Amino acid sequence: MKMVCLNVHFLMAVMFTVILATLNNMVLGENISIDPNDIHGGVTMGVSNAVCDNGKANIQIDWDPNSSDEYTCYEGSSENYKVRLHSSHCDKTAQQPLHICYPRAINYTEDLPTSGSHRPLWPKYGEYLYLPPQRWIHSLEHGAVVFLYHPCAEPSEIEKFKAVARDCLHRYILSPYKKLPPDMNFALLVWQCRLVMSNVDLPLMVNFIKTRALNGPERVSRDGQYDVGLLRHAGIVSDVEDSELCPRMRIMAATAEVFKNRSAARRSKYQQSDQMWQRYRQQYRQQMPDVEI
Ligand SMILES: *[C@@H]1O[C@H](CO)[C@@H](O)[C@H](O)[C@H]1NC(C)=O
Ligand SMILES: *[C@@H]1O[C@H](CO)[C@@H](O)[C@H](O)[C@H]1NC(C)=O
Ligand SMILES: *[C@@H]1O[C@H](CO)[C@@H](O)[C@H](O)[C@H]1NC(C)=O
Ligand SMILES: *[C@@H]1O[C@H](CO)[C@@H](O)[C@H](O)[C@H]1NC(C)=O
């Protein structure tokens, strides 16, 4: 009797699973979920769909994972720039955030787009071998910070850049990217704003992140679905909502500013003796490698 009962339960469980799978196929399978009230052009975000976007089929339209071009340095490593350059710019208006299905291509008029059309599935947070803009613009829309570095940047600078991302927030995307302005090796992007730098400037980055992160038109902290080329999934820094940005950097950034101010004073004091100034500079570089003085 007991045996029969078990078998009936087992059969019911199997049938239930089959029904669920069929339902899933109906929803996620060969039918695009169209929402007429959706501001993204009718294609609902985050719904995996083989006809539109399932994060696998047709992805080579945005990036061919079999090609190493996007993450390989061909021009030879750039030297560590002696003159440190940076600039930041915000667009007054945003491009429409349409969700575009494959096989339609999405082209941007700007090399560093900070808004615009993108794919319906957004990427998992973290670090990528390469992630195309068609994916990370969706992350920007949700309030994430996108960290881009030129593959020819100095490896030690790239490591510093990564450390800032990892220490500042959970909702970040990091990828190599070649279409940076001349002499610029690093870029930080949020929805409608960008900061580009020749070298990693810790105080600048922390300030940008603290004032501009998590301000996308959609406040979604949920992780994404796309993970092609994902090398390292983002960890939690303060919590999943990133309630505190760059918690470990607070002291570092403050110290960096003190160092910068102090060195500005020393510079004028040591103006007559270049040798003394260089010695001082070397000494402080060892203590504060992230700060240019
Ligand atoms: C897709 O789903 C809608 C509504 O659920 C239905 O009206 C339509 O016929 C379906 N289209 C296809 C091609 O199955
Ligand atoms: C990458 O190459 C493999 C083997 O040559 C092939 O099966 C696969 O379809 C290619 N992927 C893409 C996205 O082109
Ligand atoms: C638009 O993008 C597609 C695929 O990403 C590319 O093949 C095409 O050349 C681009 N078109 C223009 C005008 O840049
Ligand atoms: C550093 O100098 C700037 C400009 O002179 C000033 O606004 C700032 O308060 C100073 N910061 C510290 C920590 O002394």
Same domain, 220 and 266: no
Same domain, 172 and 260: no
Pocket test for ligand 2, best of 59, 62, 66, 102 (most atoms within 8 A of CB): 66
Same domain, 191 and 282: no
- Looking at residue 139, its pLDDT comes to 97
Domain presence at residue 46: no
- Looking at residue 89, its pLDDT comes to 93
Query: Which ligand approaches the C-alpha of residue 102 most closely?
Result: 3
Residue 67 CB less than 6 A away from ligand 2 = no
Domain presence at residue 7: no
What residue's CA is closest to ligand 4, atom 1? 261
Residue 208's pLDDT band, with cuts at 50, 70 and 90, is very high
The residue among 198, 221, 240 that closes a domain is: 240
Residues with CB under 6 A from ligand 4: 257-258, 261
The residue among 211, 240, 269 that closes a domain is: 240
Residue 43's pLDDT band, with cuts at 50, 70 and 90, is confident
Comparing 118 with 43, the larger pLDDT belongs to 118
149, 255 contact by CB (below 8 A): no
Domain that includes residue 292, residue range = 248-293
Same domain, 114 and 233: yes
Domain presence at residue 24: no
Convert the pLDDT of each residue in 233-288 to its tens digit: 999 999 999 999 988 765 565 666 666 777 777 767 666 566 666 776 676 666 55
Domain presence at residue 22: no
- Looking at residue 19, its pLDDT comes to 42
Residues 6+ positions from 270 with CB-CB distance below 8 Å: 276, 277, 280
Give me Rg for the CA atoms of the chain: 24
Same domain, 286 and 214: no
Same domain, 213 and 266: no
What residue's CA is closest to ligand 4, atom 6? 261
Closest C-alpha among 225, 242, 116, 230 to residue 173: 230
* Least confident residue range of 1-15, 30-44, 228-242: 1-15
Q: Which atom of ligand 4 is nearest to the CA of 260?
A: 1
Q: How far, in Å, from the CA of 60 to the mean position of ligand 2? A: 9
Residue 69 CB less than 6 A away from ligand 2 = no
Comparing 182 with 132, the larger pLDDT belongs to 132
Same domain, 128 and 263: no
Same domain, 198 and 277: no
Number of domains in the chain: 2
Q: What is the pLDDT of the chain when averaged over all its residues? A: 82
**Taking residues 88-98, what's their average pLDDT?**
92
Residues in the chain: 293
- Looking at residue 21, its pLDDT comes to 37
Question: Is residue 29's pLDDT more than 50?
Answer: no
Report H helices in the chain.
2-28, 133-141, 155-168, 202-212, 249-269, 274-287
Q: Which atom of ligand 2 is nearest to the CA of 64?
A: 13
**Taking residues 34-59, what's their average pLDDT?**
79
Residues 6+ positions from 197 with CB-CB distance below 8 Å: 84, 85, 86, 184, 185, 186, 187, 188, 204, 205
- Looking at residue 288, its pLDDT comes to 59
55, 48 contact by CB (below 8 A): yes
Same domain, 287 and 203: no
Domain presence at residue 135: yes
- Looking at residue 40, its pLDDT comes to 72
